[in-house]
Copies of this chain bind each other. A is one copy, B any other.
Amino acid sequence: MVEIEIKNNKFHKDTFDKTTEERRQKVLEVAINEFASNGYAATSINDISRKANISIGAMYSYFASKEDLFLSIVNNAYFLMDKILKDVEENSRDIFDCIEKMVVASRKFAIEYPQLNRIYLDITTQALSHISIRLSDKLEIITPQLLNNLIKKAKDEGKVNVDIDEKVAAYCMDNIFTMYQFSFSSDYYKERLKIYIGEDKLNDIAEVEKSIVNFILAAMIKK
């Protein structure tokens, strides 16, 4: 349905393709960890090369700059996130099932790939706007389209209220999903979730997620 459009998604040099898989993985793994925990500005590319046991010279033969290394990672992360969402959609019976699965997937993704989420958080920051610009055209197109189509189809099928604006609804839904995801990535948002929901209630996460799903569903179904 939605076609993943790979334009010039190459922020690394050819050399990076030619080196061993092992080296490639090691570089990316270490870089992800460093960027995720220190943020872009406070991460040192020398540190990464040291921790990855790769010479700084090699590093610069793989990536033209710190920025490009960062972009490579971010790029990968986007594809991963989008892919997961697409999987959810494809394996859902209907919009209700889909929303339910998306809430769960948001949490699971954040817990399985906390670093990617933290890096994502970093990018949304104004300071990195010059970086997000370089990803621009393909950044966040899949999810909006996916949600949009999902609602449109549900509307057509008479499953949800025809009066709702599907664009705005998609936006609101994703706002909830995104913030829920963040609530399992950065310590800040973790704390915020705790304040909102209460530590005790968080012990029964299934219950919380049911309430979230209910909130969204109530917003969309006919009265």
Contact = CB atoms under 8 A, between A and B. Distances in A.
Given A140-B192, A172-B215, A125 B42 contact: no
Contacts of A186: 124-126, 129
Given A41-B39, A214-B164, A187 B219 contact: no
A208 B168 contact: yes
A64 B90 CA distance: 55
A36 interface: yes
Contacts of A178: 175, 179
A39 B179 contact: no
Nearest to A219: B219
B118 A121 contact: no
Interface stretch (A3-11, A21-29, A76-84, A194-202): A194-202
Which of A139, A182, A196 is packed against the most chain B CB atoms within 10 Å? A196
